[in-house]
Amino acid sequence: MSANGSTETLVELEHLTKHFDVKQGVFARGTAKVHAVEDVTLQVRRGETLGIVGESGCGKSTTARVMLRLLDVTSGTVRFDGRDITHLSQRALRPLRREMQMVFQDPYASLNPRKSVGQIVGTPFAIHGVKNARSRVQELLERVGLSPEHYNRYPHEFSGGQRQRIGVARALALSPKLIVCDEPVSALDVSIQAQVLNLLRNLQSDFNLTYVFITHDLSVLRQIADRIAVMYLGRVVEIGDSEQIYDAPKHPYTAALLSAVPRTGTDPRQRIVLSGDVPSPIDPPQACVFHPRCPRFHRGHCDVEEPELRDLAPHHAAACHYPLERWPITDEELRQAEGAVREDRPHLEGAAHD
């Protein structure tokens, strides 16, 4: 336990930025920059599940990998358990590695097919020199809903859901403080998803774990997250308590995401269909990055001034000049922000009905 073990915050990201250099075709001169994560500030509190949600390319996975220092930081600060780990060498990070673990999306690709389950789950014990590994591994297997007899079996003998349990057991092995789950149930069938989600929830209360849960699936996230950060093009556009995000979203992008999720319920609902695709993170739009797709876009404001992430309610902040006044909201109300004078209708041809 570190001296700061009693503080409430486990992970703290301050103005975290991560750029990647990419080449654009063999004949291109120089390289372009991918703005994967741009000025992200957030905290992960002890014992909570922080959900990070967004579409592909929004930077959610990169944020998690930088958080774990699996990637180097371009600028900003990463603090883990009260300690600045932004520039620690991989060697200096090694003792911290047992405290932060990861569960991956693809249960087929993330387990070495040539190793037995016992070896896979026991690897962390071997690396960190822990005794009577075998019985500890068997305990873990039982804890994640597998049988201790599975010790000598190989990954291919298991179904997708069972493999994900193996992945969870491996992550749990060294009693970490933080587990980052990167789309852990996305590759699983619905009936199996629920099993793994239940498992993760139970383990959290039993072991007092802190999760960072990355997903594109808002329904899954609702079942597990305490707080949620919504990311778009490398930025956090809205962050707050889960109930707030789902019941009173403030950012038009969050609103669009929520309304786009297909449901089995029979109640009719307002659908906000965004036009176009997510722009390239190589050349993100000026000012508010969401403005080219935003139904509330105000020319001369949203494309000029970048909105700051500001508190709009207790434990709820959004980066928008014209946050939503209510939820649910009609299409007309969404397009006409209260208190805003606008001469032009949004130029979103085909935004509502294509």
Q: Pick between residue 122 and residue 161 the one whose CB is nearest to another protein.
A: 161
Q: Pick between residue 217 and residue 306 the one whose CB is nearest to another protein.
A: 217
Q: Pick between residue 72 and residue 189 the one whose CB is nearest to another protein.
A: 189
CB of 265 to another protein, least distance (A): 7
Contact call for residues 209 and 287 (beta carbons, < 8 A):
no
Name the DSSP class of 142. Answer: H
DSSP assignment string, 86-138: TT--HHHHHHHHTTEEEE-S-TTTSS-TTS-HHHHHHHHHHHTT-SSHHHHHH
Q: Pick between residue 110 and residue 162 the one whose CB is nearest to another protein.
A: 162
CB of 204 to another protein, least distance (A): 13
Q: Pick between residue 80 and residue 253 the one whose CB is nearest to another protein.
A: 253
CB of 286 to another protein, least distance (A): 20
Contact call for residues 271 and 260 (beta carbons, < 8 A):
yes
Q: Give the pair of three-digit tokens for residue 88.
A: 């620690």
* Element (DSSP H or E) covering residue 34: strand 32-45
Dist. CA 335–CA 344, nearest whole Å? 11
CB of 349 to another protein, least distance (A): 9
Q: How many CA atoms lie within 13 A of 233 on its CB side?
A: 19
CB of 223 to another protein, least distance (A): 5
Q: Pick between residue 47 and residue 160 the one whose CB is nearest to another protein.
A: 160
Chain residues in the site for another protein (CB under 8 A): 22-29, 55-56, 159-162, 189-195, 197-198, 201, 216-220, 222-223, 242-243, 246, 256-258, 260-266, 271, 273-275, 277-278, 350, 353-354
Alpha helices in the chain (DSSP H): 60-67, 90-97, 117-127, 133-143, 160-172, 190-207, 218-222, 242-247, 252-260, 331-335
CB of 280 to another protein, least distance (A): 9
Nearest to 148 by CA among 126, 166, 174, 130: 166
Q: Pick between residue 26 and residue 341 the one whose CB is nearest to another protein.
A: 26
Using DSSP, state whether 57 is helix, strand or coil: coil
Contact call for residues 221 and 53 (beta carbons, < 8 A):
yes
CB of 74 to another protein, least distance (A): 21
